[in-house]
Amino acid sequence: MGYGGNRGGSYGGNDRWGGGKGGGGSNLGDGLNRVDWKSHELETFEKDFYFEHPDVTKRSAADNAKELTDREISIVSGNAPKAVVTFEQSSFPEYILDSIKKAGFPSPSPIQCQGWPTALSGKDMIGIAATGSGKTCAFLLPGMVHINAQPHLKRGDGPCMLVLAPTRELACQIKEECDKFGGSSGIKNLCVYGGAPKGDQARSLREGVEIVIATPGRLIDFLESGTTNCRRVTYLVLDEADRMLDMGFEPQIRKITSQIRPDRQTLLWSATWPAEVKTLARDLCKEDPIHIKVGSGLLKANDNILQKVEIVGKWGKQQRLMKLMEEICDGSRILIFAETKRSCDELVRELRAQRYPALAIHGDKEQRERDWCLEAFRSGESPILVATDVASRGLDVKGCKWVINFDFPGQIEDYVHRVGRTGRAGEKGTAITFFSDDDTKNARDLVDILKRSSNSVFPSELEDLARRSGKGGGNRRGGKGKGKGRGGFGGRRY
């Protein structure tokens, strides 16, 4: 039975599209043979592993609706199973429940409450939820149950589960969760991304792994060279789909999924739901997907995060940062976002000149150096990290107490993802944002987000800027909203 793809050959090729910024390179993947799936007789496989707990069965439709409302869960479309509200109701096998207990989670997060029974039922699904909401475990744990029900890998087989992620950092974070929860069941996983030597990755692929977590470019390199294949993939996950499209990965995603059998189970996850993601979901989900949304659908930061905004002149930001560091630098982890690689390096030089232990990560850093910097930040050896948006998604550091937006991001969605690096897993955090006249186009969107929070402080001048900006930026996510947050933190500084 042929599946296309080029078996044999070397694993060589350029390190293209390894998780950096997207853009051109549409010829990547042109060497993949197009598969006519209608001409293949595909082996059947099992994908429904959900057994409804008696307590869930007894729950009335009205009571289930209340459970959803209490957790801000909406079923946008599809016939979803009832939510589970405890780990015991999830119908996970003991080895999964044991790993959950060891992780110390108090209860399922809202996306897990509805995502677990949906994914375990074998349904295609779309999950829309904010960053830091527990999406990784929402798709990973049902995926492990799915893998353990499939035949063992044979020589030459590719993975059973494929997770596509936009950045190296997010891919590595997903791998860490795989290591944490997959060890007890002997499931092998591999993280495949550009910027790292291909040899070790290729060797592991040839030996066989059940789960591959990959950035699109490096995976296509391996598919084109015949190092691996997707003919055994029956559980496909696209994580941070909106970010992948922002980075220009759509052609690569479509080429990869063309190599995967159409009766697979597909799970698409995103923090936002723009038209481009809707189109991708419609094309990739072969069955009518169950569409789950957690939250209002409006951009909103976690209420565990105290959001502060200061109006600061463009040329006064560095001086204000140094003053702020005097106030907050006590050994806690501080993540500073800058818009460009050059700005990152300049800030690190200035911070070090003032004897602050700072490191930088951005797209020009070698992967080995980026890994070293992240480990130093995680361990607290270097508690100050300056980063471009390469770290706004996928960076999960326990105890990151402060986020500082030295430069405001180009898109309002990236503001939410940046500040979401603090206040994770129930912890408290503070995000301080410098806002200058150059950022006025985002003023109204930012005010909307701040007003939706019960934990924000911003000067009245920001609202003046919002009014003057008219309709604001092009990424509006709803009306003005209501909320607290009036105040004069910082004032105008130049």
**Looking at the structure, do residues 174 and 234 belong to the same domain, yes or no?**
yes
485 sits in the region (left: phi over 0; alpha: psi -120 to 50; else beta) called: left
**Backbone phi, psi, residue 405, to 5°:** -90, 90
**Looking at the structure, do residues 317 and 290 belong to the same domain, yes or no?**
no
3-class state of residue 171 by DSSP: helix
**Looking at the structure, do residues 281 and 357 belong to the same domain, yes or no?**
no
CB burial string 56-89: b at 16+ within 10 A, e below: beebeeeebeebbeebebbbeebebbbbbbebeb
What digits encode the pLDDT tens for the residues 378-413?
888 999 999 998 765 657 777 899 999 999 998 888
Angle at 154 between CA 268 and CA 145, to 5 degrees: 40
For residue 346, the model assigns a pLDDT of: 95
Structural domain span for residue 329: 305-493
Residue 384 maps to which CATH number?
A: 3.40.50.300
Q: Report if residue 471 sits inside a domain.
A: yes
Q: State the first-to-last Cα distance of the chain, in angstroms, to the nearest integer.
A: 69
For residue 454, give every residue at least 6 positions away whose Cβ sits within 8 Å of its Cβ, in sequence order, or none. 303, 483, 484
CB burial string 433-457: b at 16+ within 10 A, e below: bbbbeebbbbbbbbbbbbbbbebbb
**Looking at the structure, do residues 273 and 340 belong to the same domain, yes or no?**
no
Considering the entire predicted model, what is its pTM? 0.71
How far apart (Å, rounded) are the C-alpha atoms in residues 394 and 371? 13
Q: Report if residue 28 sits inside a domain.
A: no
Angle at 65 between CA 103 and CA 235, to 5 degrees: 50
**Looking at the structure, do residues 142 and 265 belong to the same domain, yes or no?**
yes
Q: Report if residue 148 sits inside a domain.
A: yes
Among 234, 259, 294, give the residue marking a domain's end.
294
For residue 479, the model assigns a pLDDT of: 35
Q: What string of DSSP letters covers 190-215? A: EEE-TTS-HHHHHHHHHH--SEEEE-
**Looking at the structure, do residues 265 and 392 belong to the same domain, yes or no?**
no
Q: Report if residue 186 sits inside a domain.
A: yes
SS3 string of 27-49?
Answer: CCCCCCCCCCHHHCCCCCCCCCC
**Looking at the structure, do residues 215 and 352 belong to the same domain, yes or no?**
no
What digits encode the pLDDT tens for the residues 145-189?
999 999 999 988 999 999 999 988 889 989 999 998 877 678 999
User: How many structural domains is the chain composed of?
Assistant: 2
For residue 297, the model assigns a pLDDT of: 67
Q: Report if residue 85 sits inside a domain.
A: yes
Among 240, 259, 294, give the residue marking a domain's end.
294
Q: How does pLDDT run along the chain (494 residues), one tens digit per residue? A: 333 333 233 222 333 333 444 444 457 777 787 777 777 777 889 999 999 999 999 999 999 999 999 999 999 999 999 999 999 999 999 989 988 988 888 899 999 999 999 999 999 999 998 767 789 999 999 999 999 999 999 988 999 999 999 988 889 989 999 998 877 678 999 999 988 889 999 999 999 999 999 999 999 999 999 999 999 999 999 999 988 988 889 999 999 999 999 999 999 998 888 888 889 998 998 768 999 999 876 777 888 899 999 999 989 999 999 999 999 998 899 999 999 999 999 999 999 999 999 999 987 888 788 889 988 998 889 999 999 987 656 577 778 999 999 999 988 888 988 998 898 767 899 999 999 989 999 999 999 999 988 899 999 999 999 988 764 444 433 333 333 333 333 333 32
Q: Report if residue 121 sits inside a domain.
A: yes
Strand 265-270 with 125-128, pairing: parallel
For residue 31, give every residue at least 6 positions away whose Cβ sits within 8 Å of its Cβ, in sequence order, or none. 6, 224
Angle at 236 between CA 19 and CA 22, to 5 degrees: 20
Q: Report if residue 348 sits inside a domain.
A: yes
Q: What string of DSSP letters covers 108-163? A: --HHHHHHHHHHHTT--EEEE--TTSSHHHHHHHHHHHHHHTSPPP-TT---SEEE
Q: Report if residue 464 sits inside a domain.
A: yes
**Looking at the structure, do residues 262 and 226 belong to the same domain, yes or no?**
yes
206: buried, middle or exposed (CB in 10 Å: 19+, 13-18, 0-12)? middle
